[in-house]
Structure 1
């Protein structure tokens, strides 16, 4: 049994799909399937029950997966410690961020970081929370910037900042004449939201009164990016609720930004890394740099 084979098991456990697990491990599906079948035959047990529409994990499979996860974490720790010994100076940081945060903080982070560590290279990836956490567990990323809540074992987090949500509407919208808005003011508006994979969408919906969500969703349009939503709002196609950093850093004369008058929904943005990550100097540098970055309208 090899470490790669253990990674195949972990990938199938996460994806519950052999093809997707193979893509995650950068191997062909037959290669992954044969490897897992070999492990099951070698151990004389069944880890996964293959069904037409789903993959079930057997009770013994659950125990094996837990041990495989622990081995994977320890392996990453060994690799990190070895790299730390071989290279006392950090030369590369692999950083991930969710789509609704990356464009607004990463340019500032790199600029600030390179003032004191000009030789460090950043490898940047934007993705959904679920995908970033998988890559963090697998060691494909060193750090991830995302928003709470999420509950993952063996992941350490530190708060970077708190970010209010704001109401965004076209200057042509009659509501733009109001100094502040309530949820009731939005009841008859078309609400533009990000697609279902974006955690920010769920955070917005969670901030709305539950009794009004069903009514409002009947008038909702979905988009794939905040920038698309901004342009749609500017053209008076609807209104949106967005993180303040995505709109307050622009001088857009077509948009009106309003705060909620009765309460202020917000999100916690954190830096996350594996507890087994061995570069304490990199962790300290990232946290120090992020604390020195100021995004309009956020607070710590």
Structure 2
């Protein structure tokens, strides 16, 4: 049974005439009559008294009419609601960001700027490398990309000429280790040639790894590390470091609580910290209708906190 059959029956009950009802439904009379006949066969009873002029409904038809009106009204209301939801989704701005930013920065940032109603985190992007974020913007897969960005020069070849960005705040990668029995780091920088320190590292093709490498090269004192594991996500690195497998550089916001409660400790002093900016990227030629107003609202809003 099709919804249009129910709509046909409602119109026939109103018009009490097959030809006028067929015209109202924009179909031929034979087609309309066939639909009504199929409807009666489906219900297993006669719904129209064809012996009267004008046509009338049988008692079963009267009962069925009430049901048709209820069903079609619910379908109409549901259709309107779904269209409204689809329109809202089309207007929503998709924000791609690594998991550490989604967990420690994005919720408060959305709340401060009252953006939760129009900006949605794009969860497929949590394991992307930096190039994936830029390509996601180019493909229109996401509308915004919130990324860490080193303050110094890095070796990655990234083309951002088609993008614009806002610097929303600052962050730093801090070296951390699980503590030993005395509360000191189990693994500490800089290590030695004979005893390099085990490193839980970022993915070698990622921006974080490039930023760390560039920072270490700028230090006058060499560092000796041996990589045990590589990961895109800072949360995975933190987990392995917490379990005592090695040291790792992690965004400070992601380890602040663990350091306060002594679960993690610094593996080196501040000279080993890697300064980062937190940037929000968008395409210069984005056609999303909500982006210009959002961009204007956020300009100059360096308010992510420390």
Task: Kindly indicate whether the alpha-carbon contact (under 8 Å) linking 1:99 and 1:128 is maintained by their aligned counterparts in 2.
Answer: no
Q: 1:195 aligns with which of 184, 203, 213?
A: 203
Runs of 4+ residues deviating >6 angstroms? 210-215
Q: Deviations over 1:266-299 (max 9, x none)?
A: 11221111111353102123446x63332xxx3x
- How many residue pairs get aligned? The number is 201
Aligned-pair distance for 1:183? Answer: 3.4
Q: Give the Cα–Cα distance (whole angstroms) in 1 for the partners of residues 119 and 213 of structure 2.
A: 38
Unaligned residue ranges in structure 2 (runs of 5+): 1-86, 151-157
Corresponding position of 2:274: 265
Q: Give the Cα–Cα distance (whole angstroms) in 1 for the partners of residues 174 and 223 of structure 2.
A: 21
Q: Deviations over 1:230-286 (max 9, x none)?
A: 222222211112221221144543211356344642112211111113531021234
Report the 3-state secondary structure (helix = DSSP H, G, I; strand = E; otherwise coil) of the residue aligned with 2:269: coil
Structure 1 range deviating more: 239-248 or 120-129: 120-129
Q: 1:255 aligns with which of 260, 264, 286?
A: 264
Task: Kindly indicate whether the alpha-carbon contact (under 8 Å) linking 2:175 and 2:267 is maintained by their aligned counterparts in 1.
Answer: yes
Corresponding position of 1:277: 286
Q: Give the Cα–Cα distance (whole angstroms) in 2 for the partners of residues 268 and 247 of structure 1.
A: 17
Alignment of structure 1 residues 29-48 onto 2, 5 Å: none
**Structure with bigger gyration radius:** 2
Aligned-pair distance for 1:118? Answer: 5.7
- Cα 1:248–1:118, aligned 2, differ >3 Å: closer, same or farther? closer
Q: 1:172 aligns with which of 176, 180, 184?
A: 180
Q: Give the Cα–Cα distance (whole angstroms) in 1 for the partners of residues 257 and 297 of structure 2.
A: 25
- Cα 1:243–1:265, aligned 2, differ >3 Å: closer, same or farther? same
- Cα 1:243–1:134, aligned 2, differ >3 Å: closer, same or farther? same
Structure 1 range deviating more: 131-140 or 94-103: 94-103
Report the 3-state secondary structure (helix = DSSP H, G, I; strand = E; otherwise coil) of the residue aligned with 2:140: coil
Task: Kindly indicate whether the alpha-carbon contact (under 8 Å) linking 1:182 and 1:261 is maintained by their aligned counterparts in 2.
Answer: no
Q: TM-score, normalised by structure 1?
A: 0.56
Task: Kindly indicate whether the alpha-carbon contact (under 8 Å) linking 2:237 and 2:250 is maintained by their aligned counterparts in 1.
Answer: no
Corresponding position of 2:144: 143
Task: Kindly indicate whether the alpha-carbon contact (under 8 Å) linking 1:182 and 1:262 is maintained by their aligned counterparts in 2.
Answer: no
Task: Kindly indicate whether the alpha-carbon contact (under 8 Å) linking 2:96 and 2:133 is maintained by their aligned counterparts in 1.
Answer: yes
Corresponding position of 1:229: 237
Q: TM-score, normalised by structure 2?
A: 0.55
Q: Deviations over 1:112-168 (max 9, x none)?
A: 33xx35642514232221111112012222111113364412101121122222120
Task: Kindly indicate whether the alpha-carbon contact (under 8 Å) linking 2:189 and 2:267 is maintained by their aligned counterparts in 1.
Answer: no
| CA RMSD between the two structures | 3.5
